Amino acid sequence: MTKFFKKFIYNQKVAPYIFIFPFVLIFCIFFIYPMIYTVVMSFQKILPGENEFIGFSNYSKLFRDSVFFKAVANSFVYMVLTLVLLIPFPMLFACMINSRTMAAKEFFKSVFFLPALTSVVVAGTIFRLAFSESDSSLMNQFIQMLGFTPIKWLKMRETGFAVLLLLACWRWTGVNMLYFLSGLKNIPEELYESADIDGANSWAKFTKITVPMLKPTIIYVMTISVYAGLAMFTESYMLWGGNNSPQNIGITIVGYLYRQGIEKNNMGYASAVGIVLLVLAMVLNLTQLKINGLFKKED
């Protein structure tokens, strides 16, 4: 038996499967099984000690729910704006830090990345206090020095979303910048030297060499940003000090899922929200991957 076991373990055809088995097992237990069970629950009415199959009732109710559509709209707007802000600016900062003439590169890397090490709970609390509606809050004191009247930052949709985006940019710019720095290290220096010989200026080198060569990194950052934008919850929860922002101006899809599943104990309905979120994220990401040519067959 021992001899057979050793022969089985050291078999070159079997060994790769043995190495990936722990990952496959964890993936099935913590992703595949919960996803399948969530799909099943989305067709049920779940009460303490009672599960009742109700077909598509949760989904039909969901698509008549105005608060759900507001949550989808908020998440979509947040996702689009974070894509607009958290791809070009980190890429430009990465190019600046990667420049030969840039001094104190490691210092600026640390400064940009430091917010990512801060707990989102702490960061959200600090931003909530800084943008409080009271006259003594940090930002209201600042605008009063400029001659403006205090603003109720988190009670209006426009200013509330601006604060939320500011929090996202403060926290994630450094992370995305490091992704682009890694991509820049893979661009051959000879390309820039050839461009210098041809007399290309900095803008031409950026648009003709840097951006095309960074395309895989851009696609990766875009993919994770689409998911992160749709799945955002903690930042909004901490910024408004709970899941009930004024007139739901800060509600997100995950926040609505939390409200239905945890606060109202309506797990069947919350499961339907989760499935819709999964489908939205997959459709958007597969679409942008298709547009960017990831599935294009090579010649």
pLDDT in tens, 86-104: 999 999 999 999 888 888 8
Q: Residue 57 and residue 44: Cα distance in Å, rounded?
A: 8
- pTM of the full structure: 0.86
- Cβ pair 75, 253 in contact under 8 A: yes
Ramachandran category for residue 252: left, alpha or beta (phi over 0 → left; psi -120 to 50 → alpha): beta
Q: Residue 163 and residue 155: Cα distance in Å, rounded?
A: 11
pLDDT in tens, 113-125: 899 888 899 999 9
Give 3-state DSSP helix, strand, coil % of the chain, rounded to 5. Answer: 75, 5, 25
pLDDT of residue 241: 86
- What is the pLDDT confidence band of residue 197, given thresholds at 50, 70 and 90? confident
- pLDDT mean across residues, the chain: 88
- What mean pLDDT comes out for the span 154-158? 90
pLDDT of residue 254: 93
Q: Residue 134 and residue 177: Cα distance in Å, rounded?
A: 35
- Greater model confidence, 15 or 191: 191
Q: Considering the domain 59-291 in this protein, what is its CATH number?
A: 1.10.3720.10
Q: Which residues is 45 bridged to in the sheet?
A: 52
Q: What is the token pair recorded at 185?
A: 């290290």
- What mean pLDDT comes out for the span 200-211? 88
**10 pLDDT higher than 80:** no
- What mean pLDDT comes out for the span 232-258? 90
pLDDT in tens, 181-194: 999 988 888 888 88
Cα Rg of the chain (Å, integer)? 24
**252 pLDDT higher than 80:** yes
pLDDT of residue 1: 55
Of 38, 125, 77, 14, nearest to 253 (Cα)?
A: 77
pLDDT of residue 70: 94
Of 215, 208, 222, 207, nearest to 186 (Cα)?
A: 215
- What is the pLDDT confidence band of residue 11, given thresholds at 50, 70 and 90? low
pLDDT of residue 299: 45
Q: What is the token pair recorded at 118?
A: 């801060």
- What is the pLDDT confidence band of residue 297, given thresholds at 50, 70 and 90? low
- Greater model confidence, 109 or 16: 109
- What is the pLDDT confidence band of residue 290, given thresholds at 50, 70 and 90? confident
**245 pLDDT higher than 90:** no
pLDDT in tens, 44-96: 988 777 788 888 999 999 989 999 999 999 999 999 999 999 999 999 999 99
Q: What is the token pair recorded at 233?
A: 């919850």
- What mean pLDDT comes out for the span 204-232? 91
Going from N- to C-terminal start, the domains of the chain cover: 59-291
Q: Residue 254 and residue 232: Cα distance in Å, rounded?
A: 7
Of 1-5, 34-38, 241-245, which gets the smallest average pLDDT?
Answer: 1-5
